[in-house]
Amino acid sequence: MRGGTRDMTFGELLREKRRAAGVSQRELAAGAGLDFSYISKLENGRIPPPAADTVVALCRILKIEPEELLAASQMSLTENEWKELSSSLKRLRDS
């Protein structure tokens, strides 16, 4: 492992958080309404990080805040993506 979570890619950090939560790739995928292979590809860096609504869904299953996953992995979002994420977080917290 590299020098800390700040040096990790989105996929590496997702894997770490998933394992810490005791959730399998299949469980995470099923809970977020995604295909198992999608989670595997994310964790292995074979596809780019997902859209904000998918990040929210993954974090909900892992019981972590999306900001934790995004900030620690230094994932860069456009202004519109941050707005979408903020809106998704608000809806999630209000539900």
Cα separation of 51 and 33, whole Å?
Answer: 14
pLDDT in tens, 2-56: 445 557 888 999 999 999 999 999 999 999 999 999 999 999 999 988 887 898 8
Q: Which domains does the chain carry?
A: 5-94 (1.10.260.40)
Whole-prediction pTM: 0.74
pLDDT of residue 1: 41
pLDDT of residue 88: 74
Cα separation of 79 and 52, whole Å?
Answer: 12
62 against 89, higher pLDDT: 62
**Average pLDDT of the residues in 68-73:** 70
pLDDT of residue 50: 87
- Start-to-end CA distance of the chain, whole Å, equals 37
Q: Which of the 8 DSSP states describes residue 33?
A: T
**3, 13 contact by CB (below 8 A):** no
